[in-house]
Structures are given as C-alpha cells and as structure tokens.
Structure 1
Amino acid sequence: MSIWGKLFTAMRGGANEAAESVVDSQAMRILDQELRDADNALRQARSDLAGMMATAKRIEKRIQDNRAKEERDIHNARSAMDAGREDLARGLAERVAAVRSELARDEADHANMQQQQQAMLRTVKDTEQRIAAMKREVESVKATDSLQRAQKAIASSHAGVNSRLGSAVGSLERIRDRQAQLGARLEAGAEMAEIESGADLDRQLLEAGIGGKTSNADDILAEITGPRELKALPRS
C-alpha cells in the first residue's frame, strides 16, 4: 500500500474513532430518543389495532344483521309460497341470494381480519415486553453511570485532598524546622550574653569551689545543730 493509501486509511480510522466518541458521549440521549421512538411506534400500532378491531366489530354486526334478514326472508318466502304468491317468494329468494353473497364476502373479510388482529395483538404484546425490558436496562445503565460519575468525582476529590494534605504536611515540617532553627539561635544568643557579662565565668568558678562558697541543706542543718559559742554575760 502506498503512503497516500496508508494516510487515507489512517484518516478514515480517525474519523470513525471521532464518530464513535461522539456516539458514546451521547449514548444516553440517543438511547432515550430510541425508546421514545419505540413508544411512539407502539402507540401507533395500538391505534391501528384499535381501528382494526372496530372495523371487525362493524363487519361482525353486519353479518349478524344479514343472517337475521336471511332467516326472516326465507320464512316469509315460505309463507308466500303457501299463500300461492310465487312472485313474492321469488323476489324474497333473490334478496336472500344477494344477502348470502354479501355474507360470504363479510365472513371472509372478518376471518382474515381476525387472523391479522391476533397477529398484531401478539406483536404488540411482544413489543410492549421488549420495550419494558429495555426501559429496565436503561434505568440500570443510568444508575450505573450516575454511580460511576459519583465514584469518579469522589476519587478526584480524594486525590485533590491528598495533594493538599501533602502540601500542608510539607508546610508544617518547614515551619517546625524554622522554629527549631530560631530556638537554637535564641539559645546561642543567651549563652553569648552570659559570656559577655561574666556571669558564665562566675558560675564556672562556683562550680569549681573557687571564689565563693555554696551551701546545701546538709551544711545548713549541721550549722544549726553544731556546738554553739558561749557569749560573755555582762557584769552587774
């Protein structure tokens, strides 16, 4: 394959991927629209079925009326023959023949319509069940989609919180370091002040027992309980 053919194939692949991406992003909207279309088609099928059933009832009523008319005309034709009125009987016979011809057409139409009606009823019921099942699936998919979006938002928020906490911990450590450095500097400054004032040298001399005397509790108790010097009484 030439380079131009490969480029054309790559472009077609990219276009297909872009189209699929658009379809995926609008999947819920497309699915809802398809369900609405199915509902509309089902309502139209119910309307057509209702019209067919109404027509079948009209034909059935006409069949019943024609059968009653046939029975009545035959009865009257017999009565006319008994009365010697063959002309009336023949006229009734001709009408019965016409009624029977109409009955044959109506009965054939009614039988055919009954078959179509039963087939349409089965189709409508099957379509209703399929649409109901699809709606349940759609609700499940929507619930899953909402849950996944919530989980994604929580995960993103958690990641952001962890990032902010990490930044806060780093800031806290830096603050502690600065405090420790400042404390060390203050302590060193105090020591330098003692050296400069001579207080540190005096303290070192006292600790070495030079240039002064330190007393503790035992020394003081010994001083209290030791022998006392007698003072001379004044003469009278």
Structure 2
Amino acid sequence: MSVLKKLAILMRSSVREIGESVVDANATRIYEQEILDAKHNVAQARGDLTGVMAKEMQSAREIERLRGEVARYEALALEALTKQQDTLAEEVAGRVAELELELDEQTKAHASYAVQVARLKELIKGAEAKIREHERQIVMAKTTESVYRATRSIADSVDGTGSKLLSAKESLERIRQRHEDLSDRMTAAEQLEREVGSKALEAKLAAAGIGPDADRRASILARIRARAETSVASGGADKPAVSE
C-alpha cells in the first residue's frame, strides 16, 4: 500500500474519531433534537391524517348521494315500464348501471380511506407513546448528567490531586512554612545578638566583674549591712515605729 493511501486512511480515521468525540460530547443535545424532530414528524402525520379523514368523510357523502341517485333512477325506470316506455326504461337502466359502477368505486375508495385512517391513527398513537417515553428518558439523562457534573465538581474541589481544597491546603502549608522561617530567623538573630552583638559583650564584661554594674549587688548589700549596724549601735532608734 502506498504512503498516500495510508495517509488518506489515517485522515479518514482521524475525521471519524473527531466526529465520534463531538457526537459523544453533545449526545444529550443530539438526543433532544432527535425527539423534537420526531414530534415534528408526528405533527406532519397528524396533518396527513386529517386530510385522509376528510377524504373518507367526502367519500361517505358521495356514497350516500350515489345511492340516492340509484334509487331515484330505478324508480323512474319502473315508472317508464309501467307506462309502456320500454326504450326510455332501458336508457334509465343504463344510467343506473353507470351510477352503480361509480358507487362501487366510491365504496372501494371509502374502504381504502378507512384502512389508511386506522393505520395512521395507530402509528401516531405508537409514535406519541414512544416520544413520551423518550422525553422521560431525556429528563432522566439531563438529571443524571447534572449529578455527574456536580460529582465531578466536588471531586475536583475535594478529592482530586489537582483539587481546589488540596491547592488551598498547599497554600496554607506554604504560609506556615514562611511564618516558621520568619520565626526561626528572628530567633537566630536574637541568638546571634547574644553571642556576638553588644549584649554579648556587656554580658561578658559583667561576668568578668568589669564595668559600672559589675559590683552593684555587693554595694547594695554593703549599704544595707551598714544601716543594720548603725541601727544596732543606736539602740534600735532607727527601727520603724510600731503603731499601737
């Protein structure tokens, strides 16, 4: 097989697959349109039925008219015979024969119309029943499709790997990580300040007893002891008075 033929087959296959995908994606709309087309066809059939029924009624009236004419001409032929008008009676009999032939044709036509009417009524009745069933099915199909869309939406929002809630959770996790990183940075900065900053130097000086605050505790304690000794030497004169 030549390359061009293979390419042609490939193109036909691609067109078929695209067509099938389009049909599948719009199956509900196509189904609904098919139902509308069927209802339109039934409406046309109803119009045809009314036309056939009208023909049936017209043929019934024509049959009654012909029967009346046959009866009238038979009476005239009888009257002609009673008056010895044999030639005229034969002519009237010929007219009766023509009317009877026409009556036979009308009777056959009427019977045919009756059959067609009955058949069309049955077909329309069956078609309308099927359309009602399809309309119920399309309602169910639309409802099911709505449920599937809602389910898919919930799944995409909650359960799927690319769901919105999962994405929100990831966003929250990134915020927490930034906060933790910021907290760690602040803690590290304080620790670094204590170790190598000015506070670290002051702490080292105080620990070595260097600086204005190095012996403040000892000075305070010495001052308190001096006051205590003075109080003892003065006989407790410096003691605070106790209210009676």
TM-score (norm 2): 0.69
Establish whether residue 167 from structure 1 lines up as the match of residue 171 from structure 2: yes
Q: Deviations over 1:176-217 (max 9, x none)?
A: 3422441454366466376156389779997xxx7765xxxx
Identity %: 28
- Change over 3 Å in CA distance of 1:30–1:109 after alignment to 2: same
- What is the SS of the residue equivalent to 2:31? helix
**1:110 paired residue number:** 110
- Which deviates more from structure 2 when the two are superposed, residues 24-33 or residues 101-110? 24-33
Aligned partner of 1:198: which letter? A
Tell me how far apart the structure 1 counterparts of residues 9 and 3 of structure 2 sit (CA, whole Å): 10
Q: How far apart are residue 8 of structure 1 and its match?
A: 4.9
Aligned partner of 1:118: which letter? A
- Change over 3 Å in CA distance of 1:93–1:212 after alignment to 2: same
- Change over 3 Å in CA distance of 1:109–1:230 after alignment to 2: closer
TM-score (norm 1): 0.71
Establish whether residue 192 from structure 1 lines up as the match of residue 196 from structure 2: no
Tell me how far apart the structure 1 counterparts of residues 102 and 88 of structure 2 sit (CA, whole Å): 21
**1:225 paired residue number:** none
Q: How far apart are residue 45 of structure 1 and its match?
A: 1.4
Asked if the contact 1:70–1:99 (Cα under 8 Å) also holds between the matched residues in 2, the reply is yes
Aligned partner of 1:57: which letter? M
Q: How far apart are residue 94 of structure 1 and its match?
A: 2.4
RMSD: 3.7
**2:240 paired residue number:** none
Q: Deviations over 1:72-99 (max 9, x none)?
A: 3323433443344445543432222211
Asked if the contact 1:77–1:88 (Cα under 8 Å) also holds between the matched residues in 2, the reply is yes
Task: State how many pairs are aligned.
Answer: 215
Asked if the contact 1:46–1:124 (Cα under 8 Å) also holds between the matched residues in 2, the reply is yes
Aligned partner of 2:112: which letter? N
Tell me how far apart the structure 2 counterparts of residues 90 and 3 of structure 1 sit (CA, whole Å): 87
Q: How far apart are residue 47 of structure 1 and its match?
A: 1.3
Asked if the contact 1:194–1:200 (Cα under 8 Å) also holds between the matched residues in 2, the reply is no
| Structure 2: 5+ residue stretches without partners | 222-234, 238-244
| Structure 1: 5+ residue stretches without partners | 214-228, 232-236
- What is the SS of the residue equivalent to 1:198? helix
Q: Deviations over 1:43-68 (max 9, x none)?
A: 22111111111111100110011112
